Chain A
Amino acid sequence: MAHTSSIPAEAAQNPAVSAPAPVRTSAALAVFSLWWREIVRFYRQRSRVMGVILSPLVFWVVIGSGFGNSLRPDATGGGGHYLEYFYPGALIMIVLFTSIFAMMSVIEDRREGFLLSVLVAPVNRSVIVLGKVLGGTTLATIQGLVFLVFAPAVGAQADAAHLVLVVVIVFLVAFCLTALGFAVAWRMDSAQGFHAVVNLFLIPLWLLSGALFPIRGASGWIRAIMRANPLTYGVEGLRAALFPATHSREFGLGASVGVLAVFSAIVFAIAFVIANRRSTKPAA
């Protein structure tokens, strides 16, 4: 602190008086702490953990088994059961749910007042966004990877290198969606509004990601939307990495990872810009 004249002379001479406030704040420390809090909070709410693990599993089994006999194997481009085709989509759905709902914590933090105390701390807004987004990303990545225990059951044949790619893709999809969730949640003051946006935009985004039906069979304009959808690159990338032999590819694996990385950077930048605005309106 450059300005010390306000501290009376007695204070400077008295050794019992506390040292001046620390000047240097550490961005890494702040990111770590915000990240850590996201994780701890999540695992202290058991119902959230159960919901996030069980609901996609139920979706996968019910939808996958139900469609199983309706769709001809060749329609999905592979020889396996529909459960196999649907597997990457189900994994992305887990990531989608966890990422987006992890960012409900932005609304909770605002309502509980916690956010205010973070906003008056001397940390850059990008640090706040990064800490929270990485927290949600970590949760979603973990949940997505836990789902991988079912991969052998549907005949996934990924080797070590492909498994690394699976982790990278899951992480990028999680980051992209968490940052998106953050951007949406920042100006919201109610969980209901957030749900409305999620239902209106994010569920269709998932439906049109190649999770349920392949791009190739879709009509022209749907196909265009699917190609513009970042989730498509997550689903197709996972499919290519998990089943390298059976599925014909829509895009190369490298292209999928690249597109996801670019989308992640863009969405993060948007989240930062939204959170960095200061105005003459109350911050919370």
Chain B
Amino acid sequence: MELTVAERASRSHEPPAVPEAVIQLENLSHRYDERLALDGVSFGVWPAEIFGLLGPNGSGKTTLFRILSTLMLPTLGRAVIQGFDAARQPARVRRAIGVVFQAQSIDPKLTAAENLWHTGHLYGLHGGALKSRIAEMLGRVGLAERAGDRVETFSGGMQRRVELAKGLMHRPSVLLLDEPSTGLDPGARRDLWLYLKTLRDEEHVTVLVTTHLMEEAEHCDRLAILSEGKLVALGTPAELKREIGGDVILMEAQDPASLARRIAERFGGNPTVIDGKVRLERENGHRFVTDVVEEFAGEIISISVSKPTLEDVFIDRTGHRFWNETAAPPAK
């Protein structure tokens, strides 16, 4: 993927500042009065990939989304979309992006078709071309039959589909979605992801999705994981999990802190205590389990071995759980 991108970039005559990425963040930082919400974030999003921005609430996702959608100026650094600076050239950026907000943005007093009609006008579509685009988009999101009904009579899932159609009316090359599966049932969620993949594969749309759901992040081609305004991990879900190195072993014990210390002395590694459990990353976890249970027989109440998840990636990089409001401080 990177190779073809590089090839493409070498053939084009673009300014050197942004050689290949569709979205390029350069040391992006944002401060709300006294709180630093984004702290020097830099990464690139490649053409026609589904890029996930994963992080718990308060990690800076929404701040980043606001800056990318040109609604807020960053206090430091740059966000460049399709070669245009979101802060300095908002009009150019706005033409390139389609935005689907987490909150409803469609007008409930208008019909589905009227909502799209209005949006089309804002993007310069009109007449027959607009009419056929409305029919096309409503068909794609499965709402052709309800075109003439007011949106206020729709279910939550149907309203989300109108939102998506609205964001795509002007055929944006970049689609930004903020927590798109909020309020969707599992079936609707699956449909949404199928559609995003179709957009990527057939129309080569670059999709950026913010999410706080691990299972949703798994669908992304690449991920940036944010924690407290900092970029803590970047890569494909598989790469990130592979970097953990082997398996994740969790042990319940009478005295987790002492067990962790003694495991470190006996077996090495870096066992930590998270949520009252000893946690350890280890290759060939199944063999380690027999060793450790033999060594500390009677002290371990339960033990489990699992393949690393994205949550493990998060724990590995930040030293605390994804939802850390209730978690104990990391035992380092």
- Chain A residues within CB distance 8 Å of chain B: 1-3, 5-11, 16-26, 29-30, 32-34, 36-37, 40-41, 44-45, 112-114, 116-124, 278-284
By beta carbon, the residue of chain B nearest A109 is B107
Q: Name the interface residues of B83-109: CB closer than 8 Å to any CB of A.
A: 83-84, 90-92, 94-97, 99, 101, 103-109
Q: What residues of B have a CB within 8 angstroms of the CB of A17 in the complex? A: 202-204
- Of B14, B94, B103, B119, the residue contacting A5 (CB under 8 A) is B14
- Of A18, A37, A283, the residue contacting B118 (CB under 8 A) is A37
By beta carbon, the residue of chain B nearest A23 is B95
Q: A165 to nearest B CB, angstroms?
A: 33
- Of A6, A41, A120, the residue contacting B22 (CB under 8 A) is A6
Q: How far is the CA of A117 from the CA of B170 in the complex (A)?
A: 13
On whether A123 and B122 interact (CB within 8 A), knowing A3-B14, A17-B203, the answer reads yes
B161 at the interface (CB under 8 A from A): no
- Taking a contact as CB atoms under 8 Å apart, the answer to whether B107 and A20 are in contact is no
Q: How far is the CA of A32 from the CA of B122 in the complex (A)?
A: 10
Q: How far is the CA of A11 from the CA of B173 in the complex (A)?
A: 11
By beta carbon, the residue of chain A nearest B76 is A280
- Taking a contact as CB atoms under 8 Å apart, the answer to whether B122 and A25 are in contact is yes
B186 at the interface (CB under 8 A from A): no
- Taking a contact as CB atoms under 8 Å apart, the answer to whether B123 and A283 are in contact is no
Q: How far is the CA of A165 from the CA of B203 in the complex (A)?
A: 55
- Taking a contact as CB atoms under 8 Å apart, the answer to whether A25 and B14 are in contact is no
Q: What residues of B have a CB within 8 angstroms of the CB of A7 in the complex? A: 47, 173, 204
Q: A84 to nearest B CB, angstroms?
A: 39
- Taking a contact as CB atoms under 8 Å apart, the answer to whether A8 and B99 are in contact is no
- Taking a contact as CB atoms under 8 Å apart, the answer to whether B105 and A116 are in contact is yes
Q: How far is the CA of A41 from the CA of B109 in the complex (A)?
A: 6
Q: What residues of B have a CB within 8 angstroms of the CB of A121 in the complex? A: 94, 119, 122-123
The A interface, classified by DSSP as helix, strand, loop or mixed, is loop
Q: How far is the CA of A123 from the CA of B170 in the complex (A)?
A: 13
Q: What residues of A have a CB within 8 angstroms of the CB of B202 in the complex? A: 16-17
Q: A278 to nearest B CB, angstroms?
A: 6
- Of A6, A18, A123, the residue contacting B171 (CB under 8 A) is A18
Annotate B185-201 by CB proximity to A: 1 below 8 A, 0 otherwise.
Answer: 00000000000000000
- Taking a contact as CB atoms under 8 Å apart, the answer to whether A8 and B107 are in contact is no
Q: How far is the CA of A123 from the CA of B75 in the complex (A)?
A: 24
Q: B253 to nearest A CB, angstroms?
A: 46
Apart from A25-B95, A26-B121, A284-B71, list 16 A-B contacts with CB within 8 A: A18-B171, A18-B203, A20-B171, A23-B124, A25-B122, A25-B124, A29-B126, A33-B118, A33-B122, A37-B107, A45-B109, A278-B72, A280-B75, A282-B71, A282-B72, A283-B71
- Taking a contact as CB atoms under 8 Å apart, the answer to whether B109 and A22 are in contact is no
- Taking a contact as CB atoms under 8 Å apart, the answer to whether B66 and A282 are in contact is yes
Interface residues on B, range: 35 or more
Q: How far is the CA of A118 from the CA of B103 in the complex (A)?
A: 14
B30 at the interface (CB under 8 A from A): yes
- Between-chain CB contacts (< 8 Å), 15 pairs: A11-B203, A11-B204, A21-B173, A24-B124, A29-B126, A41-B109, A41-B110, A117-B166, A119-B71, A120-B70, A120-B71, A122-B92, A278-B72, A280-B74, A283-B66
A-B pairs with lowest CB-CB distance, top 6: A33-B121, A5-B12, A25-B124, A117-B105, A121-B122, A122-B94
- Taking a contact as CB atoms under 8 Å apart, the answer to whether B96 and A1 are in contact is yes
Task: Specify which of B11, B104, B109 lies most central, judged by the most chain A CB atoms within 10 Å of its CB.
Answer: B109
- Taking a contact as CB atoms under 8 Å apart, the answer to whether A283 and B72 are in contact is yes
- Taking a contact as CB atoms under 8 Å apart, the answer to whether A8 and B66 are in contact is no
B8 at the interface (CB under 8 A from A): yes
Q: What residues of B have a CB within 8 angstroms of the CB of A281 in the complex? A: 32, 72
- Taking a contact as CB atoms under 8 Å apart, the answer to whether B204 and A279 are in contact is no
Q: What residues of B have a CB within 8 angstroms of the CB of A29 in the complex? A: 121, 124, 126
- Taking a contact as CB atoms under 8 Å apart, the answer to whether A22 and B30 are in contact is no
- Taking a contact as CB atoms under 8 Å apart, the answer to whether B99 and A122 are in contact is no
Task: Specify which of A20, A116, A121 lies most central, judged by the most chain B CB atoms within 10 Å of its CB.
Answer: A121
Q: What residues of A have a CB within 8 angstroms of the CB of B134 in the complex? A: none
Q: What residues of A have a CB within 8 angstroms of the CB of B108 in the complex? A: 112
Annotate B119-131 by CB proximity to A: 1 below 8 A, 0 otherwise.
Answer: 1011111100000
- Taking a contact as CB atoms under 8 Å apart, the answer to whether B122 and A30 are in contact is yes
B114 at the interface (CB under 8 A from A): yes
Q: What residues of A have a CB within 8 angstroms of the CB of B31 in the complex? A: 280
